[in-house]
Structure 1
């Protein structure tokens, strides 16, 4: 390892240890390296920073975030909870199952796990506690099921992956459906096991047909969002970026004219929130492009590929190693930053082993999303903790069995590629 790489490694690790935010670390480390070891002028670095976010696809980010924020202010979550109660409300441990099913439906609205945790948790955690579930268990189910949000489209993290690797957003969206449902199924099976073991309650009363039809009618307003997005992309009517803008406009119209819940303050809060989150993500992407330039100059991806193909005997062992690495990275680093750092390095190696790039993309994204519910950086756990009014230390033991169930789903999609590739093939995104 040369002096430049040693310097980068020391500064990178040291900066993270003392608590400097990852966005600044990704910019600081390559900046110092390029100045001291390469003599590259600052104007070239500035150009790379700008070029990293000068990408049409990235316009989808603020629109999807804003659409989710607007939807959260309409009270639409209550309608989706009622729909989930209608579908699975009479199963043993019904509210835990409802929690998971709502996450599946809500995934088509926000594309962000933290938003799902906050919106669903604020309604279902108190309801579960009132029915006799422990606050820790209620919080664990909410946090771990929320990771379904970024897997089933639309997905903000898929847009980021596309901007980094050039993979089709539409193909990523279609590839996410079955993995997302597998994650949900793994959680529902475990929740049912706990329901039987601990004799959790279930609903005995029937919902009258008239009430059921009313619930379905109100829920259809929300369910039209993913239909508009996916239907428009598949039909070729608009691009994923245009779909995000249309979803945003639809959320605005629904909030104003159907729910009549969007106030001027709500809209301003939604715009400010979307601006802050979007700026944070775009800043990370921008600085990561400079970091990526340094990796390319030092030929790091080539060296890793050479070592991997020499030492690792086949793609199955490679995928196992990658899954372990991704699980660890998901525990200690924000998902978007992990994608931006690791995708350009690992994707060429995966392709050299004959792994389909879309298959590898979804394995990577699903695995890293599990990290949203794992300590020490599991943001969904931090989000649900104050909602449930229980400490993080008490939630974690209840959450880990659900995390392990999700990893079963990860290994299924890892070693059965058709679980990912089937829908993109049927819809013409890949051959």
Structure 2
């Protein structure tokens, strides 16, 4: 009865276009009232206690760091370096876009933020160079999804908090899968651009010019090394790394590049506050939602149901991937991670999977959800950046979707891709 109320109210709220966080909160409140064993103040308590977490402090700080880096000139300097070294390759600007997204992913932790920051710089140039609108916008939407795979990653922080898994271990595990996805997209871009006849930049840069570009971007290039190196070396925790990233971004933008000042610094701060507020409401409501599921023993029932359906390792993983891909079509990453990770992790543990490896699989699946219609948020951001209708973006997404699915299968069934670095350092 309680579970029926929980899911029926949630579905109705989503159908009538209630914001996801509010929909989860309303359905949780309805279930609490239907149960009778919990106080009506339960939801409020969960909103407070879920936010009272040291690891979760990393989320607003990484969001702020990403906004400050975008506004402070870090992104365009990374773009310039990549263009100098890779711009002359066939489809050079497309390849540069992927590499820049990988660099920005190493400092932002957000897929939509990566699309907005990099897309605003590369989309006009790619269109000017003759790349098609559908290819350009679909590429930036897909490459931006690497932002949640390469550490630091906000969904990885949420997974770690939800399942009591090491966030530092998750960050180590996401590095190689992110690079794998980036290489897959680069190969796809090269052959498709070669087929279309889209050549690289005609200009040949001298060694002196290349070194000048690197020197100009040195502070931007050092940033990921400081953040990830500090985490991997045990100098600071992921939360402390987020604070370092935010302070570093402020120093670079204000005192080194001098593109942040008293007039324009409030825009990135306001954007980060808005994103953080939305995210924390979702986390609080989703925490209450998952607690109710646990009280009703839904995770145990699902685990037994799937185990009763099949005990085959491969089939179980394929079923989990299919479920996550479907959920990714209709639910944002944060609520999906909060709701599903406590449910699906016991199933993964029952077949002997490492929780860190399973976390990476969840993150990659939900990263694909960023580019999956009808609610893939990266598609909407790319359409807004390119000032084109959503159909233009979705018409070019399929080739990149295939690449992402191939990478997902490799990451799922070759644990070493995720676990090589954690096993070496932990």
TM-score (norm 2): 0.97
Aligned to 1:250: 248
Distance 2:175 2:99 in 1: 14
Q: Deviations over 1:2-48 (max 9, x none)?
A: x2222222211111111111111111112111123224222344222
Q: Deviations over 1:154-173 (max 9, x none)?
A: 11111111111111111111
Aligned to 2:355: 357
Aligned to 1:202: 200
Distance 1:43 1:205 in 2: 65
CA contact (8 A) 2:28 2:43 kept: no
Distance 1:78 1:272 in 2: 21
- 1:207 partner SS: coil
Aligned to 2:340: 342
Aligned to 2:160: 162
Note if 1:369 corresponds to 2:367: yes
Aligned to 2:143: 145
CA contact (8 A) 1:131 1:201 kept: no
Moved more, 382-391 or 112-121: 382-391
- Equivalent pairs, count: 426
Q: Could you tell me how far 1:218 is from its partner in structure 2?
A: 2.0
Q: Could you tell me how far 1:66 is from its partner in structure 2?
A: 0.7
Aligned to 2:312: 314
Distance 1:367 1:44 in 2: 31
Aligned to 1:110: 108
Residue correspondence of structure 1 range 402-413 to structure 2 within 5 A = 402-413=400-411
Q: Deviations over 1:135-188 (max 9, x none)?
A: 121111111111111111111111111111111111111101111011111111
Aligned to 1:77: 75
Aligned to 1:187: 185
Distance 1:178 1:297 in 2: 37
Distance 1:405 1:105 in 2: 20
CA contact (8 A) 2:43 2:285 kept: no
Aligned to 1:121: 119
Aligned to 2:224: 226
Aligned to 1:101: 99
Distance 1:319 1:266 in 2: 48
TM-score (norm 1): 0.96
Aligned to 1:25: 23
CA contact (8 A) 2:172 2:232 kept: no
- 2:279 partner SS: helix
Q: Could you tell me how far 1:205 is from its partner in structure 2?
A: 2.6
CA contact (8 A) 1:161 1:339 kept: yes
Aligned to 1:272: 270
CA contact (8 A) 1:110 1:155 kept: yes
Give the 4+ runs in structure 1 shifted more than 3 A.
none
Distance 1:97 1:45 in 2: 47
Distance 1:36 1:115 in 2: 39
Q: Deviations over 1:371-430 (max 9, x none)?
A: 1112111111111113223211122121121011111000000000000000111112xx
Distance 1:237 1:101 in 2: 27
Distance 1:308 1:36 in 2: 28
Which runs of 5 or more structure 1 residues have no equivalent in the other structure?
Answer: none
Aligned to 2:14: 16
- 2:109 partner SS: coil
Aligned to 1:416: 414
Distance 1:45 1:121, change over 3 A: closer
Q: Deviations over 1:108-129 (max 9, x none)?
A: 1211111111111111111111
Distance 1:229 1:118 in 2: 22
CA contact (8 A) 1:26 1:287 kept: yes
CA contact (8 A) 1:335 1:368 kept: yes
Which runs of 5 or more structure 2 residues have no equivalent in the other structure?
Answer: none
Select 1:302's aligned residue among 279, 300, 304: 300
CA contact (8 A) 1:157 1:336 kept: yes
Q: Could you tell me how far 1:230 is from its partner in structure 2?
A: 1.4
Q: Could you tell me how far 1:265 is from its partner in structure 2?
A: 2.9
Residue correspondence of structure 1 range 34-53 to structure 2 within 5 A = 34-53=32-51
